[in-house]
């Protein structure tokens, strides 16, 4: 399967690309969001800030949003998941609104939420990969307006964090599967298998 990894100006592209290749994918790095509209599968990577990443998507925002809503297969990780929403408290800029809602600052004593955490949910990707704990590194959390898009959560202090979100053929995760050990790699492999169908 050919996967297009969109460079949003920051992020862990190298480690994520290697993890996807280890799962059998051919990875192409792309900097132009217009060239991501008709790919086999798109990956929006994690790490970085909302505003510069949203600015990178701005020229193709409406077309990319429509493509995702119409079924373009996509995996969105951490910041990538946050870009699927409408806006963010982190700063100005418009998200893709594939998942209507707002990204909010984690209102807890200790920020960022960094390290391993348990995941609770019934999503088939979790069951088939055996992923029960995953690695997180974030200070903001998604708040979708439609709670049914949230398929799994993690608890951090008093906040329940949407860990896995679905919309059309888009899978968004707040955790980093590429940093989540063997089960994280199995999760990535299951996502690729699902997106390929």
Q: Which residues are catalytic?
A: 78, 176, 178
Q: Which helix (H) or strand (E) holds 136?
A: strand 133-138
Peptide bond into 112 cis (omega under 30): yes
CA angle 74, 165, 169 (to 5 degrees): 35
Residue among 92, 88, 107 nearest 158 (CA): 107
């Amino acid at each position: 399967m050919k996967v297009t990894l969109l460079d949003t100006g920051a992020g862990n592209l190298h480690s994520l690309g290697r993890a996807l290749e280890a799962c059998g994918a051919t990875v192409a790095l792309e900097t132009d969001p217009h060239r991501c509209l008709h790919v086999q599968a798109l990956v929006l990577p994690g790490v970085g800030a909302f505003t510069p990443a949203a600015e990178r998507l701005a020229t193709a925002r409406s077309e990319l949003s429509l493509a995702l809503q119409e079924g373009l297969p996509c995996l969105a990780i951490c910041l990538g998941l946050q870009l699927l929403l409408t806006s963010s408290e982190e700063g100005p800029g418009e998200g893709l609104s594939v998942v209507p809602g707002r990204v909010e600052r984690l209102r807890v004593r200790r920020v960022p939420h960094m390290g391993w955490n348990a995941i609770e949910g019934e999503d088939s990707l979790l069951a088939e990969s055996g992923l029960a704990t995953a690695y997180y590194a974030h200070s903001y959390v998604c708040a979708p307006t439609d709670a049914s898009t949230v398929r799994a959560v993690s608890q951090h202090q008093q906040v329940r964090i949407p860990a896995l979100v679905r919309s059309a053929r888009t899978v968004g995760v707040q955790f980093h599967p590429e940093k989540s050990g063997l089960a994280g790699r199995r999760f990535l492999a299951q996502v690729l298998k699902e997106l390929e169908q």
